[in-house]
Structure 1
Amino acid sequence: MLHAFTAGTRGLARMGQETPMAPGSQIAHALWIDLYRPLDSQIAAVEGLGIEVPTLADMEEIEISNRLYREDGSDFMTVVVPGQTPDGRHISGPVTFILTPARLVTVRHHAPRSFETYPERADRSTAGCTSPERIFLGLIEEIVARQADLLEGIGRGLDSVSVHVLGDASPDELQHALGEVGRQGELLGRIRLALLTLERALSFYDQTLATHPQGKDLHTIIKGQIRDIGSLAVHGDFLSSRVSLSVDATLGMINLAQNTTVRIVSVVAALFMPPTLIASMYGMNFAVMPELDKPWGYPFAIGLMIASALGTWAFFKWKDWL
């Protein structure tokens, strides 16, 4: 899909439909072109403007020289941002920002939430939306704000898990809590990766502003965004320690529940040990066993086994093991 935007009376106004457009159409006047899982015809339309669109394989390269570089006066910056695939799976995927003097082009193959919310409130961002550079910084600000929201959601999720784990949770609830902590930890890892790549991209772009007419103003905005990213990174470290604590607490409660079960089984086994010993003694095939000739021999053996079991039970109660 291809989305083309220009500055509107409020936020960014969509210029075209989600259909292929020819190089001579209205996308030539767009300030922001967003390519989401683009078709070959849509890629050709953008390349007709003199912009080389990277493939997904190029975007997934982990070499920093392939993610952040300047070519023919355009800045290519690739970051990794959490989002959803068309089938609803949550992943971290690459997003490439191609910043030219005339427009911003973004290329992505998954759907970060920020790309849906930014156009309507682009004019309320710190940078505004009057130029490609400001749209780029405004979109980065929206992405960073989204990561902050996700971190707050992780905090609330861990709070809920702690309440259940430290309360009277059943084994099934503890198992569910452990899975929930794992999911929150996985999301936290994706957020921390996003913050790292965003900080790298901003630092790279900041170095290219020396000759830019608005370099001083943009540098101030970038500096503030990097400071925000640093604060979120510290918050992420705090939540990471909370995830570890929640995992330890959940596993500890599971172990306590298992120990209770094992203790009950051990006590039951201990109660049957003395009667089993007595039954084994009277089951031996010795020639002389006085009780075998007596009519009270069988009731005596049964009573002795019951008394031994009751004595063992009373001893356990006295020791407060039951």
Structure 2
Amino acid sequence: MIVDCAIYRDGFRTEGPADVSEALDEVRRTGDGFLWIGLYEPTTEEFDFVISEFGLHPLAVEDAVTAHQRPKLEAYEDSLFMVLKTMGYHPDGHAVSTGEVMIFLGHGYVLTVRHGAESPLAQLRAGLEKQPELLRKGPASVLYAVCDLVVDSYLDVAAELQTDLDELEAQVFAPGRAHGVAEQIYAFKRQLVVFRRAAGPLEEPIARLVSDGVLFVPEDLRPYLRDVGDHLTKVTELVEGLDRLLSDILGANLAQVTVQQNNDMRKISAWAALAAVPTMIAGIYGMNFEHMPELRQPWGYPVALGLMALVCTLLHRAFKRAGWL
């Protein structure tokens, strides 16, 4: 479905024909301004008019309809096609969710296609309409603004993940909290995998937009895109830092669990040794041989019990001093 459609001349939104075909013809006839159309999760049937009116490449159209694409930039003879992964953070579930924005850029038009809840562009359009000096740079200004919005959202999500990681780190090193944290760490790693799949592949398309010779990207807009590239580099560095720190936290957690297991095994071994002494003595005297020391002495039974208590007491003190109990 078409969410919004407008013609921009000299950096300002203007009234134009309601029909998309007539609006595009007017822009191309006058040679000034550009047409910006926004669509949200269009079906193949809804996208048919786009294929005929804008002459878009069928492979790019297929990607725009089916979604679930990697971030990329494809250049055709008369258009550019770019895919970006949008991202949002949900504090209730401490989870990252993604959406997609596809951008078609051509002579006199820019077409944005959104998929998923994490790809709002209404505020972006309203913000751009307050920056006529940027809109005067043509349809590529919309491409820059979308890239800038997406990368800035990455920074926001990275900051939220950093806060969650700090809380997880404190939980790992809290006394008696080592067990049961590994599942949370692995879940956090899955969030970082989603993040890296969105941000990592975007570096190459941004680098291409900054380079010379890219169709429909004017020279005076490249410094803006270069700034987006700098922010994206910061994002990737933050994600790599989070991943390294998370690996260290996982290693520390596993070490804590191992130490705790060793302590438990020492305690179990110590108590087993304490139980083995009376068991051994009772087992010897329970063999019922006729000729055994002190077997028929009246004090034999209390002596055997006293021996058990004495040896167990000595072992208990020894284990206690060694830290096993």
Instruction: Give TM class, smaller chain.
Output: 0.7 to 0.9
Alignment match of 1:101 (pick from 92, 95, 107): 107
Deviation at 1:97, TM superposition (A): 2.0
Alignment match of 1:242 (pick from 237, 242, 245): 245
Checking the alignment, whether the CA contact within 8 Å between 1:2 and 1:33 is kept in structure 2 is: yes
Checking the alignment, whether the CA contact within 8 Å between 1:199 and 1:229 is kept in structure 2 is: yes
TM-score of the two chains, using structure 1 as the length reference: 0.77
For residue 158 of structure 2, what is the aligned residue in structure 1? 151
**Are residues 149 and 279 of structure 1, via their aligned partners in 2, closer, same or farther at CA, if it must alter by over 3 Å?**
same
Checking the alignment, whether the CA contact within 8 Å between 1:77 and 1:97 is kept in structure 2 is: yes
Let me know the Cα RMSD of the aligned residues. 3.7
Relative contact order higher in (CA < 8 Å, ≥ 6 apart): 2
C-alpha distance in structure 2 between counterparts of 1:124 and 1:181, whole Å? 43
**Are residues 227 and 319 of structure 1, via their aligned partners in 2, closer, same or farther at CA, if it must alter by over 3 Å?**
closer
For residue 42 of structure 1, what is the aligned residue in structure 2? 46
C-alpha distance in structure 1 between counterparts of 2:300 and 2:153, whole Å? 82
Deviation at 1:148, TM superposition (A): 0.7
Deviation at 1:72, TM superposition (A): 3.8
**Are residues 210 and 36 of structure 1, via their aligned partners in 2, closer, same or farther at CA, if it must alter by over 3 Å?**
closer
**Are residues 35 and 118 of structure 1, via their aligned partners in 2, closer, same or farther at CA, if it must alter by over 3 Å?**
same
Checking the alignment, whether the CA contact within 8 Å between 2:97 and 2:118 is kept in structure 1 is: no
The residue matched to 2:113 in structure 1 has which SS?
strand
C-alpha distance in structure 2 between counterparts of 1:126 and 1:178, whole Å? 51
Map residues 1-322 of structure 1 onto 2, 5 A cutoff.
Answer: 1-6=1-6, 31-52=35-56, 53-55=61-63, 67-82=72-87, 90=96, 95-113=101-119, 115=121, 117-123=123-129, 128-129=134-135, 131-171=138-178, 174-175=179-180, 177-207=181-211, 215-322=218-325
Checking the alignment, whether the CA contact within 8 Å between 2:40 and 2:115 is kept in structure 1 is: yes
Deviation at 1:201, TM superposition (A): 1.8
**Are residues 186 and 38 of structure 1, via their aligned partners in 2, closer, same or farther at CA, if it must alter by over 3 Å?**
same
C-alpha distance in structure 2 between counterparts of 1:219 and 1:92, whole Å? 27
Checking the alignment, whether the CA contact within 8 Å between 1:122 and 1:129 is kept in structure 2 is: yes
Extract structure 1 runs of 4+ deviating beyond 6 A. 25-30, 124-127
**Are residues 202 and 318 of structure 1, via their aligned partners in 2, closer, same or farther at CA, if it must alter by over 3 Å?**
closer
Deviation at 1:114, TM superposition (A): 5.3
Deviation at 1:300, TM superposition (A): 2.8
C-alpha distance in structure 1 between counterparts of 2:133 and 2:175, whole Å? 50
**Are residues 6 and 256 of structure 1, via their aligned partners in 2, closer, same or farther at CA, if it must alter by over 3 Å?**
farther
C-alpha distance in structure 1 between counterparts of 2:120 and 2:186, whole Å? 24
- Match of 2:42, as an amino acid? P
